[in-house]
A and B are shown apart, each in its own frame.
Chain A
Amino acid sequence: MSQKSHYTGVSRSALWFRFLPVFLIACLLGLPVASSPASAKEPSESSLSTEDKILELERSLEALSGKVEELKKVQAPEIPSWVNRFTLGGYGEMHANFGEGDAADQFDIHRLVAYVGYTFNDWIRFHSETEIEHAFVSSESDGEISIEQAYLDLLLSDPVNVRFGRILTPIGILNRKHEPPTFYGVERPFVDQVIIPTTWSSDGIGIFGGIVPSLKYELYVVSGLDGSAFNATNGIRGGRIKERPSLHEPAVTGRLDFFPFVAWPSGYGSFLRLGASAYYGGLDNGNRGQNPGIDADLRVLSADFEYSVGQIDFRGVFAHENIDGATRIGNNVAEEIVGWYLEGAWRFFPDSWKKGKLARSDAAVFVRYEDFDTQYRMPAGVAENPAGDRTAWTLGASFYLTPSLVAKADYQVRDDATGRDLPDLVNLGIGWQF
């Protein structure tokens, strides 16, 4: 997308071209005044101060610029206004995954995503995100094409706005903020795959806005999950309904975000956000209105934070899930599921290296610890599957060629309660957004 001048929709090259004649005329006018000794001897010129001369020249330039603009309007076809109302974008990530021993090594075009947005007017906006996963889609493959977001925003006021359509369930950090340059590590954290099943979309309607400048909220009524697809080691992940979710047992979900550096501007660091989110709903939902007959409810409570100070970034997530009626679901589903992670990163790329092609580059190393258990508390009489109780260490590096294009590498050490020796993983990847 070409860069635009401020709110006019005119490309930079067009702007430069537009003012070229003005510049040439200015040179023709200005050079004699500035350099000719003869002109300095003119009584009318000598009576003007340098500042007056500059002002006079500026007036001439403005007049000429206006005439050139009028001519352009006559000569150049205008870009239709509806074209400028579109917002296009996207992101993608390609990974190479290697594991110890028998673990499969693979190259994976993991995600290719297109954003399309449209501004109907100053207060009605449309946003969408369509994704292809794993490069190929067939009945036998893991690949999928899905619409992860498609919603309308009605911007009514700072405190209350309306959102309608398919939204990102506002739990945790990564579910809403999952473009590869925005997180460390090649793959998303395990907690954000198993405990908070990113990408977790929900269809519904809700409100969002700011209660006070430092406190933002989102609150939605959405389609619920399918409890019959929960299991022992992937928790609630299988319960997402991506096609036509039934509205039999809707859920309520929302979050609050507090920005202390808005409330107290003299805080320490450049950015601090403290978030809390929740989800509550029934689990008797299926695709195309085919409900599985599950009599159970899910409650999710989560807290998260992001803190940047100097060249150091911290982030952490905690999530607790309570499944009331886990016994009736079966599948060795737990009554309680818990997970958390903590991550620290150091952006070490020195300013003295930010020159030439690396002017916008950056680099970081990070460490993340995850502790998550999809079998945290079991219903009476149901034995725990020890494979659900896991920890993971991830150490890695990110190199940002530009802020929107990142090359990543990491090493993961995993453990679970089975006593097995889980293979360590090495991941390489590249990710971008535009």
Chain B
Amino acid sequence: MNPWSGNRVTGWILAFALAFLAGIAGCAVGRTSVPTAEDLSVAGVLSGKTNVEAVRRGRVIFVTECGACHKLYLPGEYSPQEWRPIVKRMADRASLGTEQALDLDMYLTAASLAARQMR
């Protein structure tokens, strides 16, 4: 096929348009909507006894394991009570160890609470 055929040219235009849109959207939305352990600490949802390192590990698992298999549902989309059975079920499917599942649960509980506080 001619490399300059109508479909190919339009395809490249789409590619550039999407790249431009991604850049604009990224700048417009601002920083990530997946809060860090530090964000949660500032939001006041981590008590003094909370293991901040576990929350930090939980965020890593959330992004790398949950996001690898499906759309990343943001923590605020479910309440802490709703996240728990989800974490239990999905931890088995994603081959997470018990400690990893606990870290993930701790992160999602805190992040969900923080998101609900901001509403």
Contact = CB atoms under 8 A, between A and B. Distances in A.
Interface in A291-327: 306-310, 312-314
Q: Which secondary structure characterizes the binding site on chain A?
A: strand
Contacts of B84: 5-6
B69 A177 contact: yes
Nearest to A270: B33
B42 interface: no
B22 A309 contact: yes
B1 A117 contact: no
Q: Which secondary structure characterizes the binding site on chain B?
A: helix
A308 B66 CA distance: 14
Contacts of B5: 391, 415
Interface in B35-92: 36, 57, 59-60, 63-64, 67-74, 84-85, 88-89, 92
Contacts of A393: 7, 10-11
A342 B89 contact: no
Contacts of B30: 268
Nearest to B14: A369
A115 B11 contact: no
B95 A269 contact: no
A265 B88 contact: no
A207 to B, nearest CB: 13
B116 interface: no
B31 A266 contact: yes
A48 B65 CA distance: 50
Top 7 nearest A-B pairs (CB, nearest first) are A268-B26, A417-B1, A369-B11, A3-B85, A391-B7, A87-B92, A310-B29
Interface of A: 1, 3-7, 12, 87, 89, 115, 117, 119, 122-123, 125, 127, 153, 155, 161, 176-177, 179, 181-182, 210, 213-214, 216, 257, 259, 261-262, 265-271, 273, 306-310, 312-314, 342, 344, 367, 369, 371, 373, 386, 389-391, 393, 403, 413, 415-417
